[in-house]
Each structure stands twice: as structure tokens, then as C-alpha cells.
Amino acid sequence: MSKDDKEVKIPIVDKELDLSNAGRGVWLVKVPKYIAQKWEKAPSNMDVGKLRISKTPGQKAQVSLSLSQAVVKLDPQEEIPTEHILDVSVVTKQTLGVFSHMVPQEAGSGSSSKDTSASTQSSEKLYMEGRIVQKLECRPIADNCYMKLKLESIRKASVPVRKVQPIDKIVQNFKPVKDHAHNIEYRERKKAEGKKARDDKNAVMDMLFLAFEKHQYYNIKDLVKITKQPIGYLKEILKEVCDYNMKNPHKNMWELKKEYRHYKTDDKKDEDKPNTDSDSD
């Protein structure tokens, strides 16, 4: 999504709310999942059940729900309880309402999506269907049918998603290898380099002097790579011809001893200058 798309804001349209039914009391009922699934499958013109309210003087009203046989027979293989009790609780500390909206069919026949959304927002009608005055929780009567339903739901929930299955053929999704490529490459490289053998002391010193002609300070690892000598044997030779720096700025590095250094001085450079001038003349 581009930056321009993110910055596009949905326009807020003021709409009128129909409050003609705002004073009507509405019940908010919580039903079990199996009832909600049956009611979703039922057509709009079907009677889904009957609500009975029995009032006894001095007691709370008893509310019960009986599902119709037409709803139960929508799925004959699944047996569900038909008798339910509704526990009533009065809403006192909350203000809840039920709202609905209606979109005319003519608004959905636009040519483009932008025109359709604009026309939908302008023609959409909002209604307040009522104010929630009571909450009811529908619970089934604990009969044999309900116990069978709960047992089946527990059994389905306990079935593991993944199962161990025996197979007849060998499945080689990951083919085993005797050795990995990087291990083989490492062994071949070590074999090509060969075992580090001690060379003649003078030959090793010549390699060290040649290396120190290029740089004044070296790390022990770099000297091992240059000379290809065992580190213990190399340190014995370095202690004879080199000094080990313990302080910065060249800490933990080796440097030739003063008697082995043969660096060009400024005086020698000045002596070489006239010679070059005379040669040019």
C-alpha cells in the first residue's frame, strides 16, 4: 500500500437515526450454540419455538423456551434438547440498545465501486429497535438428550488433531546423508594443507624477517598463517627475535627487537637525495 493510499480518509457522513421505537423494551437472550446453528439454517417464515411466561404471585416470573419440531427436524441425525429455561436478570447499571440498518436494493446497482459506496452511505437508513431492559440466559434442562449431546461434544473435543498413522511405504522427505558437505570440505582443506611440521629454524626466521619488512607489528594468528608453523614452535623463535607488546596502542602484537630492525631513517633519505640529483645532471 502506498503512502497516498494510507492518507486517504473515509468521509464521515451524518445520518439520521429513527428513534420511533426508542421507548420499546427489548430482551437480550443468550442461547446455546446448537440453537443458534439451527436458527441460522431455518427459513425466515418458519416458527422456531414458543416462549412461555408463567407468573406466580410473590415470585419471579418463570420463562421457558420450547423449540418447534420443524427446527429440530432440520438435521434429523443430530438430536438436541427441546425444552429450555431462561434465567432473567434486570439491566440496571447499563444503557444498552438494539440498532439496525437497511440498505435499499437500488443503492447496490451502481456502475463503479466508489459510486456504490457513496450511494449506499447516503441511502442507508438507521433505526433504533429498542432499549435492552432484561438479559436472559437460555440453559437446557439436564435430561438424557442433553447429557448425550454434552458427551458427544466432549468426545469430539478430546480427539487429537494430529494422529500417528502406520505407513506401508518408506517416505523419504528428508534423505539421510552419511556426511554433510561442509564437513567434507573442511577435511579436504585440512588434508590439502597437511599437518604443520617444524621447518628449519633459520628458514622460519627468514620468513619472519621478510614479513616484518612489510609491517612493523603482527598478531600471532597472522604469523601462524604466514609461516605455517606450530604455534608453540613459532613462539619459541619469536621470543628470540621479537618483543611482545603488553601496552596500547599495539597490545598483544609482536615487533622485531631493536637489534634486528633495519628501517630507513630520515638521515639516510637525505643522503640518497643528492645522489639522485647528480645522476639526473
Structural domains in the chain, sorted by start: 17-102+124-154 (no CATH), 194-260 (1.10.10.10)
With beta carbons less than 8 A apart as the criterion, state whether 79 and 150 touch.
no
With beta carbons less than 8 A apart as the criterion, state whether 253 and 218 touch.
yes
Long-range contacts of the stretch 205-214 (C-beta < 8 A, 24+): 205/237, 205/241, 208/237, 208/238, 208/241, 208/242, 209/241, 209/256, 209/260, 212/255, 212/256
**DSSP state, 128?**
E
The pLDDT, as a whole number, for residue 264 is 58
Q: Which residues of the chain register pLDDT less than 70?
A: 1-11, 105-122, 192-196, 263-281
With beta carbons less than 8 A apart as the criterion, state whether 74 and 38 touch.
yes
With H, G, I as helix, E, B as strand and everything else as coil, classify residue 226.
helix
Q: How many CB atoms lie within 10 A of CB 267?
A: 8
* Alpha-carbon span 55 to 58, nearest angstrom: 9
The pLDDT, as a whole number, for residue 112 is 54
130 forms beta bridges with 98
The pLDDT, as a whole number, for residue 217 is 92
The pLDDT, as a whole number, for residue 253 is 92
pTM: 0.44
CA 250 vs. chain centroid, Å, equals 47
The pLDDT, as a whole number, for residue 277 is 47
The pLDDT, as a whole number, for residue 263 is 61
